[in-house]
Chains A and B, each alone.
Chain A
C-alpha cells in the first residue's frame, strides 16, 4: 500500500505534532556515563551506549564526518548509529589513502584529495578501525551501534546520553578496552536522570612512530 494513502497531510499533522511532542519526550531523560580505568583515571573517547528494552523507532541517523587534518583523523573516535553515512574529507594538501579491514565494514578510499564523491554507509554494528596506507600512524575508530542513544566521554571520562525514560541495557566500548562490550553491560532504568559507572581494563597497544623522526636514520645503532 502506498504510504501516502495512509498519511494524508491533514491527518498527518497532528500525528506528527504528537510524534514531535513524543520526540521531545523521547529526549527528556538523561543518562550519564562515567568511565574510569583500573588505575582510577578517567577514560576519554569511550562510547557509552544504551540499547532500549522496548524497540524504538528512530529516524535515520544524520550524516557524519571524519576529517583528515594534519595527517590525523579528526575525531579519533566517532560513534555512529547503524545506517550512518560518513564523509571523509581530506583537509590536507597531500593525498591520503583511507582504508579499513574491519569485518563490520571493509572499504578503501584510494589516494584522493578533497572529499570523495560518495559517503561510506555503515550499516553493520561493530568497530571499524581506520588507517591511512601512506601514513602508518594515522588511526581512527568508528563505532557503529544499533541505537541512537550513545555518547562519547570527554577527557573527564563523562558522557551524557539524552534518552526517553525507560529500561536500557547500557554498554561501554573503548578502542583500547580489553574484553567485549557484551561482557560489561549494565541494566539501568532511567526515570529522569541516571548515572552509570564503568571501569575498563586497557589492553596493550604498540607504538607506531610518527614521522619524521630525526633520531632514527643512517642505519646505525
Chain B
C-alpha cells in the first residue's frame, strides 16, 4: 500500500507518521490484550484460592462438629441414658447437648436402625433415607465415622455421624449444621466472591439452596449451569442474567452423599476497572505520542524539504541562465554542505560565464567558441578567407581636436557600430588596430558567400557611418570618414603568438593586399571609399556596381592584381 505523493515532504511525513502509528498501535494492542489476559488470570487465580478456602472452611466446620459430637459420644452420662432406651430422656439429653455444641440438629439411631431421638423432628420415629445412607457410609469407615451433605425438607445440612461406643457400638449419634445463606455470606466475606451452593445438575434443577447472589440471578445461574460448556475447577465466563459478566469457578463439595456444587463468582467489570484505567492512560499516552510525532514529522519534513526547495529554485534559475545566485542556508549538516556546494557551483558557473562572455568580447563570439571547443594550440590551417580592413581617415587630426576621453568615447561608439555590422554579416572582428578594424569572413567558420558578406558589410558600414555622422553633428562632434579594403585569398588561419598569449588571426600575402587596398582609398584618383580585389569580386556570387580601377602591383611582389571600386548594389540595401 504505497501512496504516490507528489511532494517529498508529504511522503516523508506520511512514512514517519505511518510507521509511528503502526508501532504505537501495535504496542497499545499488545499491552491491552496482555492486560486483559492478566486480569482474567488474576481473577481466575483468586477464585481458585477462594474455592480452596471455601472447601477448607466447610471441612473445618465439619471437623469441629465431629469433634464436638465425639466428645458427646464419650460422655458417660449420655451413654447411660442411651442404654436405658428411654426415648424421652434421650431426647431431653440431646436438646441439652445441642446447646453445648451449637449444632442445628442431633439425632440418635440404634444399631438396628431405629430412630431413637431427633431434635429436629421430636415425634418422628422413621429413619430418613438420607440418614440411613450416611450411616451405611459410616459402617464402611475404619473409625465408624462419616460426614456428608444431607437434604431434609429442602434444607441442606452438613451431617456428621459417629458411633456411640460403650464400649461396644451401642448407637449412632448424628449431628449437623445448616447450610444456608449465612454460610454463603460468611464465605463471601472471606473470599470476596459471590457464593452459591446448589445441587448438581444431574440431581435436580432447583435454584441454589444458599447464595449471596440477588434472587433474580439465582435461577438463571442454575439454568446456565445445566448446560455444558464449563469444566469444574477451571474459571470461565458466565452471564447469569443480564449483561454483567462474571468470572465463575465451580467446584464440587463432599465426596459422599448428594453431589453439591459450590459456585464462586466475581464480576469481571469491577476487577477490570484498574486495567481499563491503565488502558485509558495508555491510549492517552499513545495519542499524545502520536501528536508529538506529527509535530516532529512536520518539523523534520520542513527542515529537510525547505532548503531542498530553495536549492531547487536556484537550480531552476541556473537552468534559465541566471548564474551567480547564492543562498544563505546556515545548516551544519548535509543540507548545509549541499547549499555550500551549490553556492560554489553557482559562483563558478557565473565566473565561467563571465569569462566566456569576456572572451567573446575580447575575441568575437565565434572565435571564442572556436577557441573553447578546439582548444588552444598554436598553429593554423590554410583557408580561403575574405579580409576586410577599414580605417578612419584623418584620425590623427581628429585626435588633436578632441580631448582624450571624448575621443575614446567617439571611437568606442564608432567601433561598436562597425563591429555590430561585421557580426551581423557573419564575419568576425579579428582585431582593432587603433581606429582600424580588421574583419574576417570565412574564419574560423566559412560560408559559401563569405565574399558577398564582406562586400555587403562594407556597404553597411558606409551607411551606418552616415547615420553616425548625423548624430555626431547634432552633438557637435566632427564627422568621420573611412576607407575600406577587401581581399579574398588563401591564408593561414590559426593561433598566433605564444602559448600564454595568443591571438586568432590570419596571415599571408592576401592579408597584406587587403590592408594595402584599404590604404589605396586615400588616393584621390580612385575617388572611392571601398576598394575590392578581383579575387573578391570573382568569389562573390552577387552582382554589384563596381568601377574598374586598374591594376596594382603588390608591394614587394611581382604579381599584379586588378582592383575595383565598390559603389553599391543594383537594388538599394535595406536601411540600417
Contacts and interface: CB of A to CB of B under 8 A. Distances in A.
A130 B167 CA distance: 7
A221 B59 contact: yes
Contacts of A101: 79-80, 83, 166, 170
A206 B142 contact: yes
Contacts of B143: 206-208
28 contacts: A97-B76, A99-B76, A99-B166, A101-B79, A101-B83, A101-B170, A106-B83, A129-B167, A129-B168, A131-B165, A136-B74, A136-B165, A136-B167, A138-B167, A139-B167, A204-B139, A206-B141, A206-B142, A206-B144, A206-B163, A206-B165, A207-B143, A208-B165, A208-B167, A219-B63, A221-B56, A221-B59, A221-B63
A181 B94 CA distance: 35
B169 interface: yes
Interface string A113-132: 00000000000000001110
A131 B143 CA distance: 17
Contacts of B59: 221
B412 to A, nearest CB: 126
A205 to B, nearest CB: 9
How many chain A residues sit at the interface, stated as a range, is 10 to 19
Contacts of A139: 167
Nearest to A140: B167
Nearest to A99: B76
Contacts of A204: 139
A62 to B, nearest CB: 27
A80 to B, nearest CB: 18
Most interface-central of B79, B141, B165, B168 (chain A CB within 10 A): B168
Most interface-central of B166, B169, B170 (chain A CB within 10 A): B166
A97 B170 CA distance: 19
Contacts of A136: 74, 165, 167
A199 interface: no
Interface in A174-221: 204, 206-208, 219, 221
Interface of B: 56, 59, 63, 74, 76, 79-80, 83, 139, 141-144, 163, 165-170
A147 B410 CA distance: 183
B254 to A, nearest CB: 16
B144 A133 contact: no
Interface of A: 97, 99, 101-102, 106, 129-131, 133, 136, 138-139, 204, 206-208, 219, 221
Most interface-central of A101, A136, A204, A221 (chain B CB within 10 A): A101
A207 B167 contact: no
Given A99-B76, A101-B80, A136-B74, A131 B139 contact: no
Contacts of B79: 101
A204 to B, nearest CB: 7
Contacts of B168: 102, 129
B76 A206 contact: no
Nearest to A106: B83
Nearest to A131: B167
A102 B63 CA distance: 31
Contacts of A131: 165-167
Contacts of B167: 129-131, 136, 138-139, 208
A129 B166 CA distance: 8
Nearest to B162: A206
Given A129-B168, A136-B74, A206-B163, 4 more contacts: A101-B83, A131-B166, A204-B139, A208-B143
Contacts of A221: 56, 59, 63
A86 B143 CA distance: 31
Nearest to B170: A101
A130 B168 CA distance: 9
Nearest to A208: B165
A88 B168 CA distance: 19
A99 B79 CA distance: 11
Nearest to A136: B74
Contacts of B165: 131, 136, 206, 208
B54 to A, nearest CB: 15
A97 B75 CA distance: 13
A4 B487 CA distance: 212
B179 to A, nearest CB: 20
A130 B163 CA distance: 17
Contacts of B144: 206
Contact of A207 (B76, B139, B142, B170): B142
A21 to B, nearest CB: 44
Nearest to B82: A101
